Amino acid sequence: MKWLTAHWDLKIVALVLAVALWIYTSGQVHADRTVDVLLRPELIGGLGDNYQITSITPSQFRVTLSVPANRWAGLPANDQLTPRLEVRGDLAKSRSQEFAVTSSMLGIPSDIRIERTEPENLRSIAVQWDYIVEDTLPADSPPLANVPPGLEAEAHLDLGQVMVRAAADVIAREQQQLNRVRFQPIDLAASNIKATGAQTFTVELSPVANLPYQVVHAPTATITLRPVPESLSLPSMPVAVLLPVNQLGKLAVTVFPSRVNLVVYGPENLLKALKADTEVQAYVDLRHGIEPGPAQEVPVTLLAPAWMTCEPLTVRVSAVAVGDDKLPDAVAPEHTAPAPAPTDAPTPTATPEGATPGTR
């Protein structure tokens, strides 16, 4: 075991020399590595709040680096560099500066060499900026999305001009090209689809993403939803008779025609959901009384939802006393229409069987 301790001083010197040689040689071994370089406006400093970057040329490129073995771990794992650049204070008013493509510019150690670039022979990066100003641009009405069937919608902006903030040349270009400030769509899917009248509400607008300027004050929009007017044909609707209580069982009433073709009008969204056989009833109102004798022209009344209207319509009605076998000559034999229970019915309308509906 004496050989372990013999000449210990020489062994220490040998160990130190070996470590030094390893450190030296590790720094001399290089390997190539290609990375992407991304230049972002927010990573360029030295301009202050009164300026805005307008262009970086090129804003993205690739470099192949010769990296010493001992520097390999210091490079980003995603092979992407996002260097920070600093504009010289004395160049702020010149609105541009070129940055040489060097290890220092890329933010990497100086012993990492740049072997080549893509695009080839890229030597510098050009950065341009301009003064920030505030001015107005015309506003565009927001798109209206998911408007329920049967409803129509429109938007009115409270401001026709919108204040924006950007570099002077950006705003000048937008004004020259007659571009308008665009806003995100307004979703109307939750609107009341059973509304019988106009619905109005106000929303604050949000600009679309990636505009080249900042919207200082977003306008509001007043949204109005209205039912779309529509017509619906209800063919061969029976006409009922409404008599006063004291004449029930005493008169036989004949209606000609006993069925009519109705053309009704109302909001499209409600007409589509209408159940005509249960929600609409045509009848003649004889509660004022009717005497046996020649046929009379009587208006048809409609028992229907309040939002519904139709064209005026009359039918011929005659009555005979119960037990009297003689029917009036003016009316062809027809079945006697059933009488609904007495009620206050809305005023209404309809189109006679075989007639052409009137134009509203």
Q: Which residue has the tokens 């798109």?
A: 143
pLDDT at 85 exceeding the cut of 90: yes
Residue 345: the pLDDT is: 41
pLDDT at 329 exceeding the cut of 60: no
Please give the average per-residue pLDDT across 153-159, as a whole number: 92
What is the distance between the alpha carbons of residues 85 and 157, in angstroms, rounded to a whole number? 42
Instruction: Burial-class residue 45 by CB neighbours within 10 Å (0-12, 13-18, 19+).
Output: exposed
Six token digits for residue 285: 């109102």
Distance of CA 175 to the CA centre of its chain: 26
pLDDT at 347 exceeding the cut of 50: no
Decide if domain 139-227 falls under CATH 3.30.9. no
At the second CATH level, the architecture of 229-321 is: Beta Complex (2.170)
Six token digits for residue 214: 């900042």
Cis peptide before 109 (omega within 30 of 0): no
Please give the average per-residue pLDDT across 74-82, as a whole number: 83
Decide if domain 30-130 falls under CATH 2.170.120. yes
Residue 11: the pLDDT is: 64
Please give the average per-residue pLDDT across 9-25, as a whole number: 63
pLDDT at 194 exceeding the cut of 60: yes
Sign of CA dihedral 296, 289, 276, 258: negative
Distance of CA 97 to the CA centre of its chain: 42
Q: In sequence order, which residues have a C-beta less than 8 Å from that of residue 114 and are 6 or more positions away? A: 63, 64, 65, 66, 101, 102, 103, 106
Residue 349: the pLDDT is: 41
pTM: 0.51
The predicted-structure confidence for 195-252, as pLDDT tens digits, reads as follows 778 889 999 999 999 999 999 988 999 999 988 888 888 999 999 998 888 777 888 8
- The 3-state secondary structure of the chain reads CHHHHCCHHHHHHHHHHHHHHHHHHHHHCEEEEEEEEECCHHHEECCCCCEEEEEEECCEEEEEEEEEHHHHHHCCCCCEECCCEECCHHHHHHCEEEEECCHHHHCCCCCCEEEEEECCCCCEEEEEEEEEEEEEEEECCCCEECCCCCEEEEEEECCCEEEEEEEHHHHHHHHHCCCCECECCEECCCCCCCCCCCEEEEEECCECCCCCCEECCCCEEEEEEEECEEEEEEEEEEEEEECCHHHCCCEEEEEECCEEEEEEEEEHHHHCCCCHHHHCEEEEECCCCCCCCCCEEEEEEEECCCCCEECCCEEEEEEEECCCCCCCCCCCCCCCCCCCCCCCCCCCCCECCCCCCCCC
What is the distance between the alpha carbons of residues 121 and 126, in angstroms, rounded to a whole number? 15
Residue among 36, 45, 93 nearest 63 (CA): 36
* Identical fold between 30-130 and 139-227: yes
Question: For the chain, what are the domain ranges?
Answer: 30-130, 139-227, 229-321
